[in-house]
Amino acid sequence: MPEPITFPADFLWGAATSAYQIEGAVREDGRTPSIWDTFSHTPGRTAGGDTGDVAVEHYHRYRDDVALMAELGLNAYRFSVSWSRVQPTGRGPAVQRGLDFYRRLVDELLARDIKPALTLYHWDLPQELEDAGGWPARETAYRFAEYAGIVGEALGDRVSSWITLNEPWCSAFLGYGSGVHAPGRTDPAAALHAAHHLNLAHGLGTQALRAALPARAQIAVSLNSAVVRAVSDDPRDQDARRRIDHLANGVFHGPMLHGAYPDGLFTDTARVTDWSCVREGDLAVAHQPLDALGLNYYTPSLVSAAPEGPGSRRADGHGASDHSPWPGSDDVAFHQTPGERTEMGWTIDPGGLHELIMRYTREAPGLPLYITENGAAYDDKPDPEGRVHDPERIAYLHKHLAAVRRAIADGADVRGYYLWSLMDNFEWSYGYGKRFGAVYVDYDTQVRTPKSSAHWYAAVAGAGELPSELVMD
Ligand code: PNW
């Protein structure tokens, strides 16, 4: 039987970005440093010492960037707000100029019929809040709720899709566990406490948004819900799988979707923390009714029990660090999944996306799903005529969109897809070396050139269906 290729008529065809990765203008209009400014300016933290100081100057080029989105036929755009542009100290009254930027951006999008999806927190905690303890400190969750209310009040009249947190797993475990992300701490207990306070922040932030937003607004969270597989059916490998699944998925989905941490998580991590950070009532707060769930997907993980002991977990694809982002899991080994890989070294596995969508269709019945990130990094270069051919990215997008379409045919309620990323940008600790964009950016001139994948995606979005043959370039 041929695969279904036509998407629902109201499907959202979007692209995603985040504030620190694209805006630049880090010292303008009252913005203060976030943990990513501090981290990227610390020698040795990012490839080549790259920082987001200039990034792709989106703060000044947003009008042209929105025009480009319209040219590419996108009907949705996911972006994030820089907390320290809005609340420079992470607390207290808002800076109007900071909010005005996002109001102008949103108005530009609406004028072109592009639906804005606003992420409140994509990893750029105001440095002052990190100095006061950061996510391992409970107070940060209350500060997030205040910030959510401020942005909700300011933009609730024109933004209807809201996302509280982007990939809290990265904030907690790469930020405070392995230290490859800001603030670069390597304390497994702090990482677990950060995870709990991110759950609390999501709940308190959702309550603050509900109070500030009109009833029609949709509130969601974007999780990098991992697909975790075991190398064998051996009970020890299966146990490794279960434990990593809890640390990757259940630690957030449990509280947010079901109001409870997964069974076994506290015992599995008992040597790391006694979880006394969890206070009575916290889980009820984290468990807020949501209107949608955002899934970010790039590649699956493959694990086994580690007979050779600690040290064999290097192949987990989460960056180079002597510290694990998996608290209490030194006896788990990560393996490279077989198959072709992208420039990040991440294996291309569209079946994993189908699996993930079906899992959350079962775990969160009735909750509409959005793929809030999916994409690939390649070593793109303009040809002598200045064109950028990226047939690998077209193939990646085609296969993953086909997986989404298959999941819809299997009963999943997927309402939209945001490709990561609209344009090349600051890829965190990898700096500007890894290009995820559908649009190429020349970092010397800031000139934007749609790659062939951007033209391909525009045609798919325009037709609302995938070409039946994989036509590339
Ligand atoms: C996501 N990992 O990051 C982010 O949401 C984006 O900002 C980022 O640019 C994109 O994916 C590509 O990396 C991730 O180690 C970073 O598992 C690291 C991991 C996952 C996602």
Please report the DSSP string for 439-458 in residue order.
Answer: EEE-TTT--EEE-HHHHHHH
Q: How far apart are CA 450 and CA 473, in angstroms?
A: 12
Is the distance from CB of 81 to CB of 149 less than 8 angstroms?
A: no
Taking the centre of ligand 1 as the mean of its atom positions, its distance from the CA of residue 360, in whole angstroms, is: 20
DSSP class of residue 389 equals -
pLDDT tens digit sequence for 181-231:
999 999 999 999 999 999 999 999 999 999 999 999 999 999 988 999 999
Q: ∠194-200-201 over CA atoms, to 5°?
A: 85
Q: How is residue 164 written in tokens?
A: 């509280």
pLDDT for residue 312 is more than 50: no
Q: How far apart are CA 90 and CA 75, in angstroms?
A: 32
Known catalytic membership, residue 3: no
Q: How far apart are CA 467 and CA 298, in angstroms?
A: 22
Taking the centre of ligand 1 as the mean of its atom positions, its distance from the CA of residue 167, in whole angstroms, is: 8
- Give which of 371, 306, 380, 319 is closest to 345, Cα–Cα: 319
- Residue 427 in contact with ligand 1 by CB distance below 6 A: yes
- Residue 18 in contact with ligand 1 by CB distance below 6 A: yes
pLDDT tens digit sequence for 245-266:
999 999 999 999 999 999 999 9
- Give which of 171, 227, 226 is closest to 197, Cα–Cα: 171
Q: How far apart are CA 319 and CA 55, in angstroms?
A: 21
pLDDT tens digit sequence for 396-433:
999 999 999 999 999 999 999 999 999 999 999 999 99
Q: Helical H runs in 94-138? A: 96-111, 127-131
346 is in an annotated binding site: no
For ligand 1, atom 7, name the residue with the nearest CA: 18
Residue whose token pair is 């062939």: 452
Q: Which atom of ligand 1 is nearest to the CA of 318?
A: 15
Taking the centre of ligand 1 as the mean of its atom positions, its distance from the CA of residue 279, in whole angstroms, is: 30
pLDDT tens digit sequence for 82-113:
999 999 999 999 999 999 999 999 999 999 99
User: Can you count the helices (H) and strands (E) in the chain?
Assistant: 16, 13
Is the distance from CB of 7 to CB of 464 less than 8 angstroms?
A: yes
Q: How far apart are CA 253 and CA 260, in angstroms?
A: 9
82, 373, 425, 430: residue to mutate for ligand 1 pocket, most atoms within 8 A of CB: 373
Domain 5-466 homologous superfamily, CATH: Glycosidases (3.20.20.80)
- Residue 373 in contact with ligand 1 by CB distance below 6 A: yes
For ligand 1, atom 4, name the residue with the nearest CA: 167
Known catalytic membership, residue 308: no
Strand-pair partners of 230:
303
Taking the centre of ligand 1 as the mean of its atom positions, its distance from the CA of residue 275, in whole angstroms, is: 27
Q: Which atom of ligand 1 is nearest to the CA of 123?
A: 7
User: Is the link from the previous residue into 421 a cis peptide, with omega within 30 of 0?
Assistant: yes
Read off the pTM: 0.97
- Residue 429 in contact with ligand 1 by CB distance below 6 A: no
298 is in an annotated binding site: yes
Residue whose token pair is 């707000």: 81
The ipTM estimated for the assembled molecules is 0.94
Tally the residues of the chain.
473
- Residue 318 in contact with ligand 1 by CB distance below 6 A: yes
Boundaries of every domain in the chain: 5-466
- Residue 372 in contact with ligand 1 by CB distance below 6 A: no
| Residue 214 burial (10 A CB sphere; 0-12, 13-18, 19+) | exposed
Residue whose token pair is 């992300």: 181
From the candidates 108, 130, 373, 392, which is the catalytic residue? 373
Question: What pLDDT shows up at residue 3?
Answer: 67
Q: How far apart are CA 135 and CA 171, in angstroms?
A: 8
Question: What pLDDT shows up at residue 163?
Answer: 99
Q: How is residue 267 written in tokens?
A: 């015992």
What region does 431 belong to: left with phi over 0, alpha with psi -120 to 50, or beta? left
Taking the centre of ligand 1 as the mean of its atom positions, its distance from the CA of residue 166, in whole angstroms, is: 10
In sign, the C-alpha dihedral spanning 399, 401, 404, 410 is negative
Taking the centre of ligand 1 as the mean of its atom positions, its distance from the CA of residue 458, in whole angstroms, is: 24
- Residue 424 in contact with ligand 1 by CB distance below 6 A: no
Residue whose token pair is 């950060």: 194
- Give which of 104, 43, 364, 51 is closest to 221, Cα–Cα: 364
From the candidates 167, 355, 392, 469, which is the catalytic residue? 167
The residue type at 278:
V
